[in-house]
Amino acid sequence: MLILTRSQIAGLLNFEEYVQVVEDAFRAHAEGQSLEPALMHVSAPDGEFHIKAGGLLAPEPYFALKANGGFFKNRERYNLPNIQGMVILCSGASGLPLAAMDSMEITIQRTGAATAIAARFLARPESAVCTMCGCGNQGRIQLRAMCHVLPIRRAFAFGLTLGEAQGFATAMGAELGIEITPTADLPAALAQSDVCVTCTPAKKALLAPGDVPPGMFIAAVGADSPDKQELDARLLPAASVFGDLLDQCAAVGEFHHGIVQGLVRREDFRGELGALITGAVRGRTAAEEITIYDSTGTAIQDAAAAIAAYRKAKASGIGVEIDLAG
């Protein structure tokens, strides 16, 4: 079994490579070339564990299992990351364990990659102003993703505190070469924006229907368990809602809250990311249409990224081999 650390994984793939392997994986899933993804949550006293499992059948069968712990008091209590975990990659033909790797770089990059793909289909191509809700690791990759596929020239940063937003704006403005304004007035930022990404652990809606202008694309990234919510569910029937996997969106995503409140039905879901990629469903159809991408995070993405990292590491002689059966 190959052991890969986060720093080793960070040097293996660039963002464009993550976009490509994630796009290929969702296409494969839409075409029936994946193992059925599974999702489980286990609650703990001060957090939760997310377990995601699935696999891909080409270029050869692989299975991946990711276990991430989300403990949002970690930084203040232990000076540890709030989210941490690992991915186990196995042969999908024999079951042989192939690799164990830190999950954080994979989770961050593959989540941003999926948003970039969704934005290509669901945002107006001329979108130039972005509001970011969330200024952590995921906020950084999400803004990079928006700049990767859209002509973003200006952004607003909305964080837990104005100080956090200011730090984000300074760092990311210098990196991306765009104007970023920290703000505590989310409705005012949204009124000036073409796209919005929410990537927080919020359990109460941040975006209200009256604050979302016509034509906006919203990538809702934070809700990956039933108690998390970033969008007022009343936004859903007024928008065209897409997502990574319908079953997950209906169980743990923003779409879940709309179903629970009786505002939408499963039949109202416009399509999965794989169907957008293959052309089985259409994305944005009008300039004034509000589009939502409900991102719950899938084992399909984890498997795609882990396979690519493993194959590159093996080819480059990176990582430490151990014999579990020895």
What is the model's pLDDT at position 274? 98
Write the DSSP assignment of 225-266 as a string of letters. Answer: STT---B-GGGGGGSEEEES-HHHHHHHSHHHHHHHTTS--G
CA dihedral 41, 42, 47, 52 (to 10 degrees): -40
**In a 3-state reduction of DSSP, which class is residue 297?**
coil
- Domain range list for the chain: 2-107+300-321, 112-297
User: pLDDT tens digit string along 94-113?
Assistant: 999 999 999 999 999 999 99
User: pLDDT tens digit string along 145-177?
Assistant: 999 999 999 999 999 999 999 999 999 999 999
For residue 326, pLDDT beyond 90: no
Amino acid at 218: I
Between 59 and 24, the more confident residue is: 24
Share of the chain above pLDDT 70, in %: 100
Mean of all residue pLDDT scores within the chain:
97
What is the model's pLDDT at position 72? 86
- Domain 2-107+300-321 sits in CATH at 3.30.1780.10
220 neighbors 293 (Cβ within 8 angstroms): yes
For residue 54, pLDDT beyond 90: yes
Between 325 and 216, the more confident residue is: 216
What is the model's pLDDT at position 59? 85
User: pLDDT tens digit string along 124-139?
Assistant: 999 999 999 999 999 9
CATH topology of domain 112-297: Rossmann fold (3.40.50)
